């Protein structure tokens, strides 16, 4: 595993750039552990101070140091994305593996449910969820809601792999040796789909962080929890750009773009490693 990562870092420019960007983002998130200010407190520093040696990213109109507020915000946004991705991976793995291995009526029922979730309009559903739970809206509840909607595309991809694995000789040997369905799925089939799960996890993190930012910017989340989206929300509420406090929006936007770009590059490079045909297709297109 370490050798694979080292080779990707040395010979795949997209992986190297993505890894560097994500390391910078995670370094920002780790710096939140050393923040001298409680993340929820306001007016702890002079408001609207421009970037300087004392305040590298300036301060905002709520009297918060933008640098330290940004470290907490990106930490929470990353934790949110990771939580949604992990929960939705469990659903996609369970449904995809079972549908592909079982086949027949089980496959048809699970794929009917899967396709129903595919056509559900996610954004209106999440907005409706906010209005229903406004007084009790919390970060974990939003993560669960998004995870319950973010699994169907990847479940169908995993099912397609499981359908192929079902016809392999080693699967028949596992059945003849007396292994249970659970053992076959976990011990024999799961290792084959883990690389796909890793690649789709990065894509799902991008999707969930982007959707959380969108919902937060328009105020459809718990705006008291520091995230990249809520930072931009409060900047808009205080008309930061009109007031000339540009740094309040500029630095969060730059950091979230780095996050999106880093996760995308890692996902693309991992997909090329998992499926060399995608690399050959891209090379043919460039030619």
Q: Provide the 3-class DSSP secondary structure of residue 47.
A: coil
Cβ neighbors of 9 (< 8 A, separation 6 or more) are 15, 16, 19
Q: Residue 59: beta bridge partners? A: 65
- Full DSSP string of 106-139: HHHHHHHHHHHHHTS-HHHHHHHHHHHSGGG--H
φ, ψ of residue 138 in degrees (nearest 5): -140, 165
- Full DSSP string of 179-221: --HHHIIIIIIHHHHHHHHHHHHHHHHHHHHHHHHHHHHTT-S
Give the number of C-alpha atoms closer than 13 A to the C-alpha of residue 159, restricted to the C-beta side: 25
Residue ranges in the chain modelled with pLDDT below 70: 1-5, 273-287
Burial (CB < 10 A; 0-12, 13-18, 19+), residue 23, is: exposed
Given its phi and psi angles, is residue 268 left (phi above 0), alpha (psi -120 to 50 degrees) or beta?
Answer: alpha
Q: Evaluate whether 81 touches 205 at the Cβ level (below 8 Å).
A: yes
Specify the CATH number of the domain 1-283: 1.10.3720
C-alpha to C-alpha distances, 39 to 66, 69, 153, 196, nearest whole angstrom: 11, 6, 36, 37
Report how far residue 8's alpha carbon sits from residue 94's, in angstroms, rounded to the nearest whole number.
30
Q: Provide the 3-class DSSP secondary structure of residue 62.
A: coil
């Amino acid at each position: 595993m370490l050798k694979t990562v080292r080779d990707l870092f040395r010979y795949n420019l997209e992986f190297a750039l993505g890894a560097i960007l994500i390391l910078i983002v995670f370094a920002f998130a780790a710096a939140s552990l050393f923040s001298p200010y409680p993340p929820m407190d306001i007016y702890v520093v002079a408001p609207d101070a421009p970037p300087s040696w004392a305040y590298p990213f300036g301060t905002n109109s709520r009297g918060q140091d933008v640098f330290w507020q940004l470290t907490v915000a990106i930490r929470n946004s990353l934790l949110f994305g990771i939580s949604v991705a992990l929960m939705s991976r469990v659903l996609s793995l369970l449904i995809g593996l079972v549908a592909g291995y079982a086949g027949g009526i089980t496959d048809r029922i699970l794929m009917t449910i899967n396709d129903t979730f595919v056509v559900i309009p996610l954004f209106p559903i999440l907005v409706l969820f906010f209005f229903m739970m406004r007084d009790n809206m919390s970060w974990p509840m939003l993560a669960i809601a998004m995870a319950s909607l973010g699994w169907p595309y990847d479940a169908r991809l995993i099912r397609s792999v499981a359908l192929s694995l079902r016809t392999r000789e080693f699967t028949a040997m596992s059945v003849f040796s007396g292994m249970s369905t659970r053992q076959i799925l976990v011990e024999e089939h799961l290792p084959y789909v883990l690389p796909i799960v890793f690649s789709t996890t990065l894509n799902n993190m991008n999707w969930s962080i982007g959707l959380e930012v969108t919902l937060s910017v328009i105020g459809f989340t718990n705006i008291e929890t520091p995230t990249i989206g809520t930072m931009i929300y409060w900047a808009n509420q205080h008309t930061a750009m009109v007031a000339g406090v540009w740094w309040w929006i500029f630095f969060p936007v730059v950091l979230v773009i780095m996050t999106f770009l880093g996760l995308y590059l890692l996902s693309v490079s991992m997909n090329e490693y998992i499926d060399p045909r995608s690399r050959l297709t891209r090379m043919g297109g460039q030619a």
